[in-house]
Amino acid sequence: MDMKTEPKIRIVARETLSRRFVNLEKVTVEHATLAGGRQTVEREIHDHGNAATILLYDPSKKTVVLVRQLRVPVFLNGGEGFMIETPAGLNDGDHPADAIAREAMEETGYLVEDAEFLFDAYMSPGTLTERVSFFAAEIDMSMKVADGGGLDGEGEDIEVLEIPLDKAFAMIATGEICDGKTIMLLQWAKMKYLA
């Protein structure tokens, strides 16, 4: 075989292990190595689609809107289980901006009309295909249009939190906020609003 004409990565086999809310596959790939050879590896890949998240910020109150909800994997890993996070959700086939406006309304009750796209990130690329689109929006907390709290039909039980931005940022160091996407958005907000 001519290594120069071989693709860098070639899928050898795919096996579906589970197809429910999460799609789990065993994927065998052959790839070029740094030393110039080739090797074959097997990986289990978790796919449930792409997602979006948003930081809602009220500049007059210098406050962010976050949510607290149960995360069973965190509990299973020894954590409290209830995480403080930015609103987020799966795109479910929608454009990320439309998906995050829907999720912000469902989770917090705030209408988001002008979300600013910030960046895309892979949160755990060793096993997850999920790409998360990050957004921010300035809101007026006096303009809340619904209760939020999530959808009963999806088993969501979400507490809406209004926290001063400087306090939320300090909660990273104390471990009260330990969700990756939330930390990234609070760091972005610190650069924009607290610098």
Pairing mode of beta strands 82-85, 63-70: antiparallel
Residue 62, Ramachandran bin (φ over 0: left; ψ between -120 and 50: alpha; else beta) = left
Each residue of 139-189: pLDDT tens digit?
998 888 888 877 777 777 899 999 999 999 999 999 999 999 999 999 999
Cα separation, 142 vs 136, in Å, equals 18
Domain boundaries of the chain, sorted by first residue? 9-47, 51-194
Q: Name the phi and psi angles at 39, rounded to 5.
A: -145, 160
Each residue of 40-71: pLDDT tens digit?
999 999 998 999 999 999 999 999 999 999 99
Q: Write down the CATH number for the domain with range 51-194.
A: 3.90.79.10
Each residue of 123-145: pLDDT tens digit?
999 999 999 999 999 999 888 88
| Residue in the structure block whose two tokens are 């755990």 | 124
| pLDDT of amino acid 108 | 96
Cα separation, 158 vs 76, in Å, equals 19
Q: What is the mean pLDDT of residues 70-85?
A: 94
Q: pTM for this one? A: 0.90
Which 3 state secondary structure label does DSSP give 32? strand
